[in-house]
Amino acid sequence: MYNNFLDLEKKRADLNPVHVWPVPYQGTVSFGDGTKDGPEAILKASYQIETYDAELKADISDLCTFITLPFQRPNVSGPGHLYEEMQEFLKNFDPARDFFLTLGGEHSISFPLVDFYAKQYPDLAVIQIDAHPDLRQNFEGSTYSHACVMARINDIGLKTIPIGIRSCSRKESEFIKDNPDNIMPFYSWDLPSPLETAGRIKDFIGNRPIYISFDADGLDPSIMPGTGTPEPGGLDYSWVKDFWKALWPGPKLVGMDFCELAPQPGSQVSESTAVKCILKILTTYFSRRKL
Ligand SMILES: [Mn+2]
């Protein structure tokens, strides 16, 4: 059983605590399956990954202490119930202090976390890496479906920045166009450089803190084949890592998730990419943030 993210022995009280919360929820995936196996695959892959980042010249084990929580038990009664169960669990934590790295599971796991942080930070902005805007008002009979997650986040008045979008309905497309004050989209066919993207986002959000919701399918399927809804033409690894480097020093990061990973039997490419993407965010942020 792999139940200790990165398999780090030492738990240093002087480092930034990161709660790693595996939520293997798979209830409403549209196509393909296997997101319930995402958290375990990420934890397992993390045992093989170097904690030192040679490019950033920083070691995540000198920056953060990871506290891996027990797996959230599977819930089969739908994403609305999942939302309530996750909210109940989060009551034991303080959004001002507790940094969560939540491992999905499908994208519906993000809203309870965003809602948790928004209570502390009503001006929170959400950076969403994703092939899809997830702006449907409801899907398969639920308003809490993975396809609706960003609509719920917009409902509570938060600014959102979807990056890597390349598949959306006409309605979602129009919704984005009609809400320029709340949504700043970066379509994958029209993506500026990492530096320019980060600059535009900083102008858009000002001093707001951010939450990152990272849907695996935002990445190109060549580096992330393990997802239920692969879309060609996605983000490449270099662009994403350079984007975090351009973003920080910059906004306060309150928490993040990585979701929609559906591991493929016989290949470790997807979960290894997932761990590298997570570590790049955390190492960049915690080594560069202004204290
Ligand atoms: Mn997606």
Would you list the DSSP string of 96-112? TT-EEEEEESSGGGHHH
Cα distance between residue 4 and residue 25, in whole Å: 19
In sequence order, what are the residues at sequence separation of 6 or more whose Cβ sits closer than 8 angstroms to the Cβ of residue 222? none
Q: Is residue 228 part of a domain?
A: yes
Dist. CA 57 → ligand 1 center (Å): 32
Dist. CA 106 → ligand 1 center (Å): 9
Dist. CA 130 → ligand 1 center (Å): 5
Q: Is residue 267 part of a domain?
A: yes
The pLDDT of residue 38 is 96
**Tokens representing residue 99 in the block:** 């940094």
Dist. CA 95 → ligand 1 center (Å): 26
Per-residue pLDDT reduced to its tens digit, 58-86: 999 999 999 999 999 877 778 888 899 99
Higher pLDDT among residues 138 and 206, named by residue:
206
Dist. CA 140 → ligand 1 center (Å): 16
Question: Length of the chain, please?
Answer: 291
Cα distance between residue 10 and residue 111, in whole Å: 32
Q: Which residue shows structure tokens 């993207």?
A: 197
Is residue 28 predicted with pLDDT exceeding 80? no
Q: Residue 248: which pLDDT band, with cuts at 50, 70 and 90? A: very high
Q: Is residue 66 part of a domain?
A: no
The pLDDT of residue 290 is 65
The pLDDT of residue 79 is 81
Higher pLDDT among residues 138 and 1, named by residue:
138
Dist. CA 214 → ligand 1 center (Å): 9
Show the beta-strand stretches assigned E in 37-130: 52-53, 58-59, 64-68, 99-104, 125-129
Q: Is residue 3 part of a domain?
A: no
The pLDDT of residue 31 is 52
Dist. CA 31 → ligand 1 center (Å): 11
Q: Residue 29: which pLDDT band, with cuts at 50, 70 and 90? A: very low
Q: Is residue 6 part of a domain?
A: no
CATH of residue 163: 3.40.800.10
Dist. CA 270 → ligand 1 center (Å): 15
The pLDDT of residue 11 is 76
Q: Is residue 7 part of a domain?
A: no
Dist. CA 231 → ligand 1 center (Å): 9
Cα distance between residue 285 and residue 289, in whole Å: 6
Per-residue pLDDT reduced to its tens digit, 190-210: 999 999 999 999 999 999 999
Whose CA is closest to 277, among 226, 210, 224, 204?
224
Q: Is residue 268 part of a domain?
A: yes
Q: Output b/e per residue, 175-204; b: 16+ Cβ within 10 A.
A: bbeeeeebbbbbbbeebeebeebbeebeeb
Q: Is residue 153 part of a domain?
A: yes
Q: Are 289 and 248 in contact (CB under 8 A)?
A: yes
Is residue 254 predicted with pLDDT exceeding 90? yes
Give the count of domains, the chain.
1
Dist. CA 133 → ligand 1 center (Å): 7
List residues, by chain if needed, whose CB lies under 5 Å from ion ligand 1.
Answer: 130-132, 215, 217
Dist. CA 184 → ligand 1 center (Å): 17
The pLDDT of residue 32 is 57
Is residue 135 predicted with pLDDT exceeding 70? yes
Domain that holds residue 206: 14-25+32-50+79-89+98-288
Per-residue pLDDT reduced to its tens digit, 266-279: 999 999 999 999 99
* Distances in whole angstroms, Cα of residue 278 to Cα of each of 63, 119, 154, 157, 249: 14, 25, 24, 27, 17
Dist. CA 291 → ligand 1 center (Å): 33
Single pTM value for the model: 0.96
The pLDDT of residue 16 is 93
**% the chain with pLDDT above 90:** 85
Is residue 285 predicted with pLDDT exceeding 80? yes
Span 142-162, average pLDDT:
93
Q: Are 215 and 130 in contact (CB under 8 A)?
A: yes
Dist. CA 210 → ligand 1 center (Å): 19
Q: In this structure, what DSSP letter does residue 73 have?
A: P
Q: Are 74 and 24 in contact (CB under 8 A)?
A: yes
Cα distance between residue 19 and residue 98, in whole Å: 7
Dist. CA 118 → ligand 1 center (Å): 22
The winner for highest mean pLDDT among 26-35, 75-84, 172-181 is: 172-181
